[in-house]
């Protein structure tokens, strides 16, 4: 029986398997350490150290993000450059972990020694700077003064920056600076070439509990023998191309449109839906209606230019001009509802909007319902499911921090009106929202288990697209075998989120000095209870 956690203002640590410094006896030492009172004292008493750590961590996080983007642009034949980039990505994580250990040395005296041991200067591209950092930070003064902390933090930053510059040199302009984003966008085509020739990057396994992220690199035979072994769950295994997900990284998961195509070719699908796809999609939280890749990726908005009809809900009135500019050309097949979707009324309002479409389809014929309203997403899935809506695919934004079997439902400010208008400035750290002083770290979004409970037993979990969970109706899911059953739900969660290289890197929008990831090490949730 899975565990439940209600309330957004705190993490339900009592549900964790892991309340010791070393996670479940494995080789990972968490940082911040699991001593919550001590972490709180550091935050409130060592404010200068906390602020410095937050600033340096943010700079290194940005470099990690940039390296991951660059990694996707490296040509398949550039093996050495690719290895250098991966080494740089690992260096960024080692630097951030050491910086954390230094901040909380008063809570975990052995943490710095453990973090230094993870650096391994001899395998780094800038071994001299790595050695200098290890010496500087390893020479711990008895009084733990801020001068030492500042010098050590600077040594970490210098080393990380040098590793970045070496890893990114192929993408430097003549000025020695990284290319502008508009110039770099021209290289995006490399990300989606079918024969990429190498795996998408994963979180460095040495920093995961018991190296569990190595499992996310497992290969299985492709349906088409000429593709050879492919990563699980691999788009190429279904003769599909890679695509760019919401983190702007190349992913091997099937895109939503490709997933529908695979399902449509299955025998069970043809038996239950002899007329094929309905080509009707529902978007709860359509934003500006644009079809874009990267951070603004919206799978349903990308369906409409391909001839799909359906309904788009959007509560943010400021987006109305852009929404109509992008979608009015598809009317009346695409209906726009300018209001917040609410659990108690969403079914009725959706039915009314669909009745205005030229094609009338029953609730079991909708191809996909996408939910992304930054808060009560699972509540909307629950309301629609209870009223008989059974789309072929659920595509739902969740809070991915927690593995299956931990049902977390948001409450309080994370369910307020601000969530329905998608006010980005209200978002604090990734997956948390600014609230009142005592609710600053209110969690946004439900957990994967809460979504599975909302959708019910008729659905099977296919994969995570970082913070988006994809479910398929069980009675048409056999077309996805043997890949669908090659992983249990926990491993699918690890593959798509926990072992995603961005899972512990602060996103570009996360500049909060009270970021959730500065307070708590979510790696401890990657181990089975």
**Res. 182: pLDDT tops 60:** no
23, pLDDT greater than 90: no
Q: Phi and psi of 518, rounded to 5°?
A: -85, -20
The encoded tokens of residue 297 equal 């990726």
Range with the poorest average pLDDT among 199-203, 206-210, 388-392, 394-398: 199-203
- Average pLDDT, stretch 166-180? 61
Q: Do residue 142 and residue 270 come from a single domain?
A: no
Place of tokens 């895109």: 255
Strands 309-313 and 280-284: parallel
Mean residue pLDDT of the chain comes to: 82
Same domain, 342 and 465: yes
Per DSSP, what are the bridge partners of residue 459?
473
Q: Looking at the structure, tell me whether residues 298 and 399 fall in a common domain.
A: yes
378 within domain boundaries: yes
Q: Judge if the upstream peptide bond of residue 233 is cis by omega within 30 degrees of 0.
A: yes
Identify the domain boundary among 172, 189, 221. Answer: 172
pLDDT band at residue 11 using 50, 70 and 90 as cut-offs: very low
Produce one character per residue of 245-275: b if its CB has 16 or more CB atoms within 10 Å, e if not: bbbbbbbbbbbbbbbbebbbebeebeeebee
397-417 mean pLDDT: 80
Query: Both 274 and 366 in a single domain?
Result: yes
Residue 217 lies in a domain: no
Q: For residue 268, what are its two tokens? A: 């069970």
What is the pairing mode between strands 250-251 and 243-244? antiparallel
- If pLDDT is split at 50, 70 and 90, which confidence band does 195 have? very low
Q: What local confidence, expressed as pLDDT, does residue 216 receive?
A: 83
According to DSSP, the β-strands at 3-6 and 406-409 are parallel
164/284 same-domain check: no
- 19 pLDDT tier (thresholds 50, 70, 90): very low
Residue 21: per-residue pLDDT? 43
* Average pLDDT score over residue span 229-252: 67
Given a contact cutoff of 8 angstroms between Cβ atoms, the answer to whether 444 and 432 are in contact is yes
Question: Nearest-CA neighbor of 454 among 402, 390, 362?
Answer: 390
DSSP state of 176: S
Shared domain check, 394 and 269? yes
pLDDT of residue 422: 40
Which residue has better confidence, 170 or 284?
284
Residue 3 clears pLDDT 60, i.e. is over it: no
The total domain count for the chain is: 2
Domain membership flag for residue 407: yes
| Number of Cβ atoms within 10 Å of the Cβ of 114 | 18
Residue 370 CA to residue 89 CA, distance in Å, equals 32
d(CA 151, CA 139) in angstroms, rounded, equals 11
In a domain, 419, yes or no: no
Task: Tally DSSP H helices, then E strands, for the chain.
Answer: 16, 15
Instruction: Give the whole-angstrom CA distance, residue 345 versus residue 484.
Output: 34
Task: Out of 11-15, 205-209, 249-253, 409-413, pick the least confident.
Answer: 11-15
Is position 291 within any domain?
yes
Cα–Cα distance between 394 and 379 in angstroms, integer? 13
pLDDT of the residue at 459: 98
User: Which residue reads 């500019």 in tokens?
Assistant: 325
Closest CA to 161 of 178, 182, 181, 139: 178
99, pLDDT greater than 90: yes
What 3 state SS string does 9-21 have?
CCCCHHHCCCCCC
Q: Has residue 508 been placed in a domain?
A: yes
Query: Are 516 and 430 within 8 A, CB to CB?
Result: yes
- Whether residue 162 sits in one domain with residue 253: no
CATH number assigned to the domain comprising residue 517: 3.40.50
Joined together, the tokens standing for residue 339 give: 């209001």
For the ranges 257-266, 371-380, 406-415, 456-465, the lowest mean pLDDT is seen at 406-415
Question: In the structure encoding, which two tokens stand for residue 279, read together?
Answer: 């080509």
Residues 167 and 255 in one domain: no
Whole-number pLDDT of residue 311: 97
Nearest alpha-carbon partner for 347 in 303, 397, 313: 313
Could you tell me if 339 and 469 lie in one domain? yes
How far, in Å, CA of 516 to CA of 514, rounded? Answer: 6
pLDDT tens across 28-72, in order? 789 999 899 999 999 999 999 999 999 999 999 999 988 888 887
Residues whose CB is less than 8 angstroms from the CB of residue 363 and which lie 6 or more positions away in sequence, other chains included? 388, 389, 390
Transcribe 123-158 into DSSP letters. Answer: GSTTHHHHHHHHHHHHS--TT--HHHHHHHHHHHHH
Identify the bridge partners of residue 463 per DSSP, sorted by sequence position: 470
Task: Give the confidence band of 229 by pLDDT, cuts at 50, 70, 90.
Answer: low
Q: Is the pLDDT of residue 135 over 60?
A: yes
- Give the single-character DSSP code of 497: I
Domain boundary among 131, 146, 172: 172
**What residues make up the domain containing 389?**
244-414+440-525
Q: How far is CA 53 from the centre of its chain?
A: 23
- pLDDT higher for 420 or 526? 526
Together in a domain, 138 and 283: no
115 lies in some domain: yes
Give the total residue count for the chain. Answer: 529
Residues of the chain with pLDDT > 70, as a percent, come to: 79
Residues 250 and 377 in one domain: yes
DSSP string, 331-394: TTTEEEE-S---TTTHHHHHHHHHTTSSS---TT---EEEE--SS-HHHHHHHHHHTT---SEE
If pLDDT is split at 50, 70 and 90, which confidence band does 222 have? low
Q: SS3 for 168? A: coil
Secondary structure of 209-257 as H, E, C letters: HHHHHHHHHCEEECCCHHHCEEECCCCHHHCCCCEECCCCCEECCCCHH
The percent helix, strand, coil of the chain (3-state, each to 5) is 45, 10, 40
Assign 153 a pLDDT band (cuts: 50, 70, 90): very high
Residues 487 and 404 in one domain: yes
Residue 408, pLDDT above cutoff 70:
yes
The Cα–Cα gap between 148 and 140 comes to: 8
Average pLDDT, integer, range 414-418: 49
Domain termination site, one of 122, 137, 172 = 172
Domain membership of residue 1 (yes or no) is: no
Q: Which two tokens stand for residue 126?
A: 């800038």
């Amino acid at each position: 029986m899975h565990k439940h956690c209600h309330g957004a203002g705190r993490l339900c640590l009592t549900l964790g398997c892991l309340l010791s410094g070393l996670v479940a006896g494995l080789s990972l030492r968490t940082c911040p350490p699991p001593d919550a009172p001590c972490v709180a004292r550091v935050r409130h008493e060592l404010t200068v150290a906390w602020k410095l750590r937050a600033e340096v961590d943010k700079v290194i996080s940005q470099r990690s993000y940039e390296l991951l983007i660059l990694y996707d642009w490296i040509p398949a034949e550039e093996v050495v450059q690719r290895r250098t980039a991966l080494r740089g990505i690992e260096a960024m994580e080692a630097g951030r972990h050491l910086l954390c250990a230094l901040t909380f040395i008063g809570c975990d005296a052995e943490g710095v020694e453990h973090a230094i041991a993870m650096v391994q200067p001899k395998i780094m591209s800038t071994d001299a700077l790595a050695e200098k950092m290890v010496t500087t930070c390893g020479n711990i003064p008895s009084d733990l003064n801020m001068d030492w902390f500042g010098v050590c933090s600077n040594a970490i930053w210098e080393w990380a920056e040098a590793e970045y510059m070496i890893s990114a040199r192929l993408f430097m302009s003549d000025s020695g600076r990284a290319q502008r984003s508009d110039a770099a966008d021209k290289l995006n085509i490399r990300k989606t070439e079918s024969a990429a020739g190498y795996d998408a990057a994963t979180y460095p396994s040495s920093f995961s509990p018991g190296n569990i992220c190595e499992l996310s690199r497992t290969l299985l035979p492709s349906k088409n023998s000429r593709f050879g072994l492919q990563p699980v769950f691999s788009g190429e295994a279904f003769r599909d191309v890679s695509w760019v997900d919401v983190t702007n990284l190349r992913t091997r998961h099937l895109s939503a449109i490709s997933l529908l195509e695979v399902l449509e070719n299955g025998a069970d699908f043809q038996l239950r839906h002899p007329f094929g796809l309905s080509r009707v999609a529902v978007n709860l939280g359509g934003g500006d209606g644009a079809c874009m890749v990267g951070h603004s990726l919206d799978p349903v908005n990308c369906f409409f230019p391909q001839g799909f009809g359906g309904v788009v809900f959007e509560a943010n009135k400021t987006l109305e001009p852009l929404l109509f500019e992008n979608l009015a050309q598809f009317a009346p097949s695409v209906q726009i509802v300018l209001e917040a979707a609410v659990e108690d009324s969403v079914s009725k309002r959706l039915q009314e909007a669909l009745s205005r479409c030229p094609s009338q389809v029953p609730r079991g014929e909708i191809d996909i319902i996408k939910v992304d309203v930054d808060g009560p997403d699972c509540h909307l899935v629950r309301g629609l499911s209870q009223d008989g809506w059974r789309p072929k695919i659920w595509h739902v934004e969740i809070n991915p921090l927690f593995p299956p079997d931990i049902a977390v439902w948001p409450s309080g400010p994370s369910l307020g009106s601000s969530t329905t208008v998608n006010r980005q400035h209200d978002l604090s750290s990734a997956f948390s929202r600014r609230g009142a002083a005592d609710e600053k770290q209110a969690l946004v979004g439900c957990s994967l288990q809460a979504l599975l409970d909302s959708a019910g037993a008729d659905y099977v979990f296919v994969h995570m697209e970082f913070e988006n969970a994809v479910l398929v109706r069980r009675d048409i899911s056999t077309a996805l075998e043997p890949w669908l059953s090659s992983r249990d739900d926990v491993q699918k969660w690890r593959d798509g989120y926990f072992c995603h290289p961005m899972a512990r890197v602060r996103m570009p929008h996360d500049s909060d000095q009270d970021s959730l990831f500065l307070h708590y090490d979510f790696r401890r949730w990657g181990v089975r209870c």
